[in-house]
Structure 1
Amino acid sequence: MKIYRSTKAVALLLFTILFLSACSLQQDAQTESEAGKSVTNVAAPWNATKNTTRINSSHPVESAVIVSKTLWPATADDNRPGAVILASTERWGSALASLDLVHHPNNGPLLYMDKDGIPQATINEIKRLRPIGIGQAKEQVIVIGDSPNKVKDQLSKEGMKATFVAGNDDAEIAEQIDALYTKASGSQPDGVIIGSLDSPEYTIPAGNWIAHMPEPLLYVTKKEIPKATIKALEKRKGKANIYIIGPEAVVSADLEKKLQQYGTVKRISGKNPIENSIAFAKYKDETTGFGWGITTPGHNLSFVPAGNPLLAISAAPFSHLGKHAPLIWTDKDKMPESVMNYVMTLQPKYKVTPTEGPFNHAWMVGNEKDLTPQAQGEIDSMLEIVSASGKGHADHGSGGEDDTSSNKNEKETSSENDHGGGHH
């Protein structure tokens, strides 16, 4: 009897343990399933392929924050910014001109405010960055143009020291930015870019250059050269190197002639905004060193959906640090023919093995509604390094033209067997 009771108790104990274990396993499985579901449903700030990195937002405020996180880790003093540039989403012209301050010695991202003040996402990013401060006053934020009174209060609440750049219009603010950069750097650049305030789609590619180099962007309209622009040009005392961005339909031949009294004038242009961005990426003045001059493999490009000025401006700091990149406008679903033709000229080719390089890379800015996965895949493929022999990516280990016929035949057979014929 005692043995029966003991056996029954043991069986009951085992049943209880197994039941509780099963419940626990079921709960763990459910938790893991829910965790996996929550992860996959969250849109990542970055989306990458082997040759591209997408800033996965089409909202200018969010895009600017993600770009800032990408370029300034803020984990040590050497990767924290000197000062953050705070520009308004209401004034593309002022925001674009302010990119001159992204460059050293300020060395900081452009972030956005709006008509209601500083968005919380921007405030959070400024706090994460903990700007070191510039100048004797150690100012941490440079506020560009008109801003709501709330902005000053918000910055004060966060303990951030700020300086304000004011002006009656975008041309005046651009002139003030030129003066501020000259003061901060200790020297005035002879070169200037002249862009149209009436045609942002032609002018905006200049932003990546001024974020990369000291030349400022100054403005004209279809009818005149604003007084503020004249003031900035006169400071160069007739020795300015002036680069007009855009065709005569945007900046007229008459204005070009008037600009000649302030220095040497050269025009960089394409017949439409997309071809204009390509022309600017390819241009190089060998005399002064001005211009990207990107016509060979081994470079970085920044692709932004055409017609989105604020998004393009938010991405301009990609030309300042890391893999420096000029702006190329593109279309939603695929590269326009002119962009495809340009990128094909940059495609790297190896002689023996892909590890030779050089390698291309692209930043893409915008979510999948503005730049589709098909567009990203196409850009990724066109940037991929390929075999100079034309045999595909599997054609490794070639000794070049000195190979014997038998070796070549062996490699061709190997190339056909590997990866389904290799990458073409």
Structure 2
Amino acid sequence: MSFNSYLRPRILLAAAAALVAGAAVWLAVANGNAGAAANAGSTGTTTTAAAPAEPAAGTSNTNLYPFGAPSGGVSVKVPPPPTEPTLSPTYTTKTTTRLYGANPYEEAVSVTQHIWPAVVPLNNPAENNNDPDRPWGVTLVTPDDPLTAITATPLIHFPDDAPILYVTSSGIPDVTLNELKRLGDTGISRFNNVDAFLVGAAANSGVENQLKSIGLKYVTVTGGDAPTLADNVDKLYGSIEDPDTGVPTMPGYNTAIGSMDGKDWQYLLPATHWVAHMPTGLLWVHTDSVPQPTIDALKRRGGMGNIYLFGGPKQISPAVAKQLSQYGRIVRVTNDDPVAFNAPPVDSPEATAIAFAKMYDPMGMFGWKITGPGHGFSLVNVNDWQAAVASAPLSHLGFHAPLILTSSATTLTSDLDGFFTSVSPFFLDSPADGPYNMTYVIGNWDQISWDQQARVDYISEMHNRRVVGSNTGSSYADSQPGA
């Protein structure tokens, strides 16, 4: 790790405080941002989304459009707020919100634009502690390395409050640079007012020079391989979050572990949203061996930790689990249940995400325990890991929306349909009593279709349990925190 410090000029507009302090912005990127980078090799290339083709006259589906298909393009052209020219509108329904991005850079910006309005001036006495308005820092990674990006996610949580944004191996794309300027983070007070963590390949001279030019203070975090990088991130975050011990803790020394072999890292994607929600270590193993940096990180916990293994024995072998048990209590995060299943069920990252959303371990206060309504969810295509990582701040603030993975770009799979139906809200007296769900759908229409988003909305709406045939859904009491 290396540390580089630079003074960052701040323009403090006291006169503007009264004008903007009461403003509220709830917008995210919906269409291609004019400054977005089209690929990881260029910081100046832009993308433009093609307008959808209108159906030819007389060819529309009469079941969808009984009175004829609409035409004429976008009905309501939404301009950005006068003081926020880079914000873009989003596509929402009653219980879903599309955070659109044509590429990873836009997906990440879409998330940060949704969460942080950044309208209160920095000279406002409350701004440094007003987390919902602007972040305290940012975490920069590249969109070509899933192990590194996943490894960086513990840095999102407090006291860093540093969401993920994507850069390239040679610089900062315009869409990301503009968002850094819009966010205007406060600096991490508990870490020498550092503005940015540069993780892995994001720690390059191109990125560093651009950050210097706009006055951001940064620290670089690197490692020769994923386990070493994870150990370094763990030490860095631990030193900030719990300087007394140097180990992340709340309420105990919890650690999420995944396999770095093949594509087994997909099983650990749901953990990215948890570590953004609660201080937790995130480490790597091989299916049949434990790297030394992972052992070093676990030893710092003095044998007092809860170790959560994401995936079944094909991802992390029983021999590895037994070796890890020397350093703490072992719990697998999987869809298997030896009481419910005579033989282990087929496992997958998608099934693991649902299982983790339902799971709760009272020993470590670990898991979302979502078996009823009143919650948020982040729906991401399993092949769009960049969106999974970038959307982790949605579990950090707001609806605290755990990650749900879909394997289909066009339809809601039966497992997901069943899960969303099971946690849909019902009412007995009044639908105004709530609670309500919100599902964030991340990415473009090719990642998750509009029809799939609409299906989630359809089954997530409040329904009357007294109506004949209404035999699904839950009440908020079904997923109250507790043992």
Question: With structure 1 as the length reference, what TM-score do the two structures score?
Answer: 0.81
The alignment partner of 2:391 has SS state of helix
Q: Which amino acid aligns with 2:256?
A: I
Higher helix share: 1
Query: Please, which moves more after superposition, 47-56 or 287-296?
Result: 287-296
- Two-structure CA RMSD over aligned residues (Å): 2.3
- 2-structure distance, mates of 1:71, 1:231: 35
SS in 1 for 2:379: strand
Tell me the secondary structure at the aligned position of residue 194 of structure 2: coil
SS at match of 2:409: coil
Q: Which residue identity does 1:107 align to in structure 2?
A: D
Distance 1:348 1:110 in 2: 32
Q: More displaced, 133-142 or 234-243? A: 133-142
Q: Which residue of 1 aligns with 2:366?
A: 290
Matches within 5 A, 1:70-149: 70-76=114-120, 77=127, 78=130, 79-134=133-188, 135=190, 137-146=192-201, 147-149=203-205
What one-letter code is carried by the residue in structure 1 that aligns with 2:162?
G
Q: 1:110 to 1:141 in 2, by over 3 A?
A: same
| CA displacement 1:41-93 (0-9 Å, x = unmatched) | 99955210110000111411111011011111111222221111111212211
2:411 corresponds to 1:355: no
Deviation at 1:274, TM superposition (A): 1.1
Residue 390 of structure 1, CA deviation: 2.1
Tell me the SS of whatever aligns to 1:212: coil
Is 1:164 matched up with 2:208? no
Structure 2 gaps of 5+ residues are 1-71, 81-86, 121-126, 336-346, 471-483
How far does the alpha carbon of each residue in 1:158-217 deviate from its partner, in whole angstroms, 9 at most, with x for none? 111111111111211111111111111125221101111121221111100000000121
- Residues in 2 aligned to 1:97 and 1:321: alpha-carbon distance in whole angstroms: 20
Conserved 8 A contact 2:141-2:200: yes
Identity across the alignment (%) = 34
> Does 2:403 match 1:327?
yes
8 Å CA contact 1:351–1:388 kept in 2: the answer is yes
Q: Residue 256 of structure 1: CA displacement?
A: 0.6
Q: Structure 2: how far apart are the matches of 1:310 and 1:36?
A: 29
Residues 97-246 of structure 1: matches in 2 within 5 Å?
97-134=151-188, 135=190, 137-146=192-201, 147-186=203-242, 187=245, 188=247, 189=249, 190-198=253-261, 199-246=264-311
In 2, Cα distance between equivalents of 1:133 and 1:87: 18
**Alignment partner of 1:143: what SS?**
strand
Indicate if the aligned counterparts of 1:97 and 1:216 stay in contact, CA closer than 8 A. Answer: no
Task: Kindly name which structure, 1 or 2, has the bigger radius of gyration based on alpha carbons.
Answer: 1
Name the CA shift for 1:101/1:41 in 2 (closer, same or farther; >3 Å): closer
Whether 1:255 and 2:331 are equivalent positions in the alignment is no
One-letter amino acid matched to 1:160: L
TM-score computed with the length of structure 2 as normaliser: 0.71
Q: Secondary structure at the match of 2:108?
A: helix
Q: What amino acid does structure 2 have at the position aligned with 1:312?
A: A
Report how far residue 151 of structure 1 moved.
1.2
Q: Distance in 1 between matches of 2:469 and 2:79?
A: 37
Cα distance in 1 between the residues matched to 2:191 and 2:448: 44
* Alignment partners' CA distance in 2, 1:102 and 1:306: 21
Contiguous gaps of at least 5 residues in structure 1: 1-33, 394-424
Counterparts of 2:400 and 2:389, CA distance in 1? 15
Distance in 2, matches of 1:298 and 1:346, equals 8
The whole-number CA distance in structure 2 between the counterparts of 1:58 and 1:315 is 15
1-side partners of 2:78 and 2:179: how far apart? 25
SS at 1:201 equivalent? helix
Checking the alignment, whether the CA contact within 8 Å between 1:55 and 1:63 is kept in structure 2 is: yes
Q: Provide the rounded CA distance (Å) in 2 between the counterparts of 1:121 and 1:97.
A: 23
Pair 1:220–1:375, CA change in 2 (3 A): same
Distance, in Å, in 2 between the alignment partners of 1:204 and 1:72 is 23
